[in-house]
Amino acid sequence: MSIDMNIKIKFYTVLLLLVTLSSTSCNKYLSLEPQDGIIRQNFWKTKEQLKAAVNGCYAGMLADPLVENLFLWGELRGDMLAAGVGVRNAELNVINVNISSTNTIADWSIIYKAINNCNTVLDFGPEVLKYDNTLTQATLNGYLGEAMALRGLLYFYLARSFGDVPLKLKSTSSDDDNLEIPKSTQQQVFDQIIADLKQAEQFVATSYGNRNDDKGRITRYTVNAILADVYLWLDKYDDCVKACDYIINSNQFTLVPGDNNWYSTVYFQGNSNESLFELQFNQNKLNPFYNMFINFKRFRAALKVAAEVYTQDFFDITNIDIRGNDASLKFNDGTIYKYQGINANSSRTAAASFAHWFVYRYPDVLLMKAEALNQQGNGQAALNAIEVIRTRANALPSSAMVVDPTDRNGVTDYLLAERAREFAFEGKRWYDLLRNARRNNYERLDLILNVVPTTAADEYQQAAIVKLRDKRSHYFPIFLYELQTNKALVQNPFYQ
């Protein structure tokens, strides 16, 4: 009996315990703070935390697939890339100008994630001033400027790729935030970009005292380079020249001499004298290129890159454009080599695939200025700049063009050809073509139309050309998932 009793008592105790526990599970008096993380109210207290948050913005730029997106958006619709054996369907559809809203290439979410990192710093960074007396206003401004410039750069990519995009300028930090934001026009986005960059220019430093930070963080020179690019896109040539001149006259940058060490200095080691801003992949965060080009062979260089872009000296095969064979690509099998090489003969292993992503290099500044000057009627200055770039790279006579300085379109063609050689596979080709094509109410639409016969599959070419005549097709559709989750978005007109 007593044993029986005992069991019963135990039974009821357990039952009672269960009832107590279960009845409390609905109530909210327990702490809501996570035990394995830090919450906003406890963060944003010291300048170290602020610095960590800004570093987080740069780390966010390395997150996959952000750089992969930048590469695909800049090169897929250009004429320098050819599909490899591992190419994906979505990529082929872009090459064939057969893009629909289900195409994953148009997924912009990683960009907005990076933008949100910047927004968070901009929203909560100023609070730190209240708690940390050692933080000066100038230091704070520097951090805010970096975040603004990064945000401006990211929106610049979005506006050039999609046209109109939602302009999200506040961080997403609580459930009450409205995530359903409609699109702003491309012009509004550009206005915001310029506002951000101009403010950032006031705020950020010209140097952080060491080379890796100077090339890996936003400096005033970087801001001016982005500004020059934006102004060039908006046909504001005076402003573009002014921004370029700021960088040129600083005498902080030179072209790395085109000797035997050039490739290894600029591309393998990175952060060279001619670099303005590079995304710093490292041993802990590898770039996506080994997988893209070597492992899965998704892309290789288009056939014309060796034969027509860099050309070859048939009388002296040792006389080469240093940017061509064994630098941008391997001539024998078309492998894209820019991110793989240590030098001409040895290449990186999968585990060492952390070549940087080159956002702006000094030659870009020189050629952007040249493009602006050419549009202003100073073709000779543009040709001179091209010559500087060509001399450094030992460009071959067979790739030279004889252009009359007054022939604005001819100089444009030469500039584009030189940019193709200088920035091969650096994610710039499509934007270069589009920027020049759309100038003066699409005066040079031919630049874009000429791409398709060299890239699209035979049976898609006719339709592709007709589609590209519609300038709305030059921008990507909004990815279907975004449309489903954000009811305020309207699909871009070409894809409706």
Partner 1 sequence: MKILNSYKWLASVTVVVLLAVMLSGCKREEFTETTTGDVNITEYLQQDPNQFSTLSKVLQITGSDNSLGGYGTYTLFAPTNEAFAKYLTESGKTSVDQLGVEELKDLVRFHLIRDTITTDKFTDGKLRTNTMYGQSILTGAQNINGVTTLTINRQATLVKGNIRAGNGIVHVIDRVLKPSRLTLAQAIEQNPNYSIFTQALKETGFYDSLNVLPVNAPDTNKRFQTVLAQSNAVFAAAGYSSYSALKSRFSKTGDPKSVIDSLHLFMAYHILPGLKYLPDIFNASSHVTLAPLDVITTKLVNQQILVNDDTFDGKYEPGALINRVASDNTTANGVLHDMAAHYAIKVRFPIPVYWEVTDQPEFKRLTGIYRVTNKSSPNYVTGDLQDIKWQTGSVSYRVAPEARQFYVYNNDYLFIAALRTAATANSFVEFKTPLLVKGRYKVWVCFIRRGGGKGVSVLFNGEPLSRVLNLTESLPAQVLVGNRWTYPAGTSPESLEALGKKIVFGGPSVPYYNNPAQTIEYYRDSYGLLAGTIDVQKTDRHNLRLQAVADGSGDVQIDMIHFIPENMDQLYPKFNPDGSVIQKPQ
Sort 98 into a burial class: Cβ within 10 Å, 0-12 / 13-18 / 19+: middle
**With respect to partner 1, which residue has the nearer C-beta, 1 or 39?**
1
**Least Å from the CB of residue 232 to partner 1:** 24
**With respect to partner 1, which residue has the nearer C-beta, 164 or 274?**
164
x/- track of binding to partner 1 for residues 288-307 (CB under 8 A): ---------------x--xx
List CB contacts of 19: < 8 A, sequence separation 6 or more.
none
CA 318, CA 421: separation in Å to the nearest integer?
Answer: 18
Kindly report the backbone phi and psi dihedral angles of residue 182, in degrees, each rounded to the nearest multiple of 5, phi listed first: -75, 170
**Least Å from the CB of residue 11 to partner 1:** 8
CA 148 to mean position of chain CA atoms: 15
CA 379, CA 412: separation in Å to the nearest integer?
Answer: 9
Q: Which residues 451-480 are close enough to bind partner 1 by CB under 8 A?
A: 453, 458-463, 466-467, 469-473
Q: Which residue in 70, 230, 177 sits closest to 168, CA to CA? A: 177
List CB contacts of 459: < 8 A, sequence separation 6 or more.
none
**With respect to partner 1, which residue has the nearer C-beta, 36 or 316?**
316
Residue from 6, 7, 10, 15 binding partner 1 (CB under 8 A): 15
- Asked if 23 interacts with partner 1 (CB under 8 A), we say yes
Residue from 36, 175, 316, 333 binding partner 1 (CB under 8 A): 333
- Asked if 100 interacts with partner 1 (CB under 8 A), we say yes
- Asked if 26 interacts with partner 1 (CB under 8 A), we say yes
Q: Which residue in 48, 49, 55, 72 sits closest to 476, CA to CA? A: 72
| One-letter identity of residue 248 | I
List CB contacts of 58: < 8 A, sequence separation 6 or more.
150, 216, 217, 279, 280
**With respect to partner 1, which residue has the nearer C-beta, 75 or 326?**
326
**With respect to partner 1, which residue has the nearer C-beta, 58 or 442?**
442
**With respect to partner 1, which residue has the nearer C-beta, 38 or 466?**
466
**Least Å from the CB of residue 339 to partner 1:** 19
**With respect to partner 1, which residue has the nearer C-beta, 25 or 251?**
25
Residue from 58, 59, 65, 98 binding partner 1 (CB under 8 A): 98
- Asked if 317 interacts with partner 1 (CB under 8 A), we say yes
| One-letter identity of residue 285 | K
* Alpha helices for 250-349 (secondary structure H): 262-263, 289, 303-304
Stretch that binds partner 1, among 51-59, 144-152, 220-228, 325-333 (CB under 8 A): 325-333
- Asked if 93 interacts with partner 1 (CB under 8 A), we say yes
CA angle 111–117–123, rounded 5-degree value: 130
Residue numbers at the binding site for partner 1 (CB under 8 A): 15, 18-19, 22-23, 25-26, 93, 98-100, 102-103, 303, 306-307, 312, 317, 325, 331-333, 453, 458-463, 466-467, 469-473, 494, 496
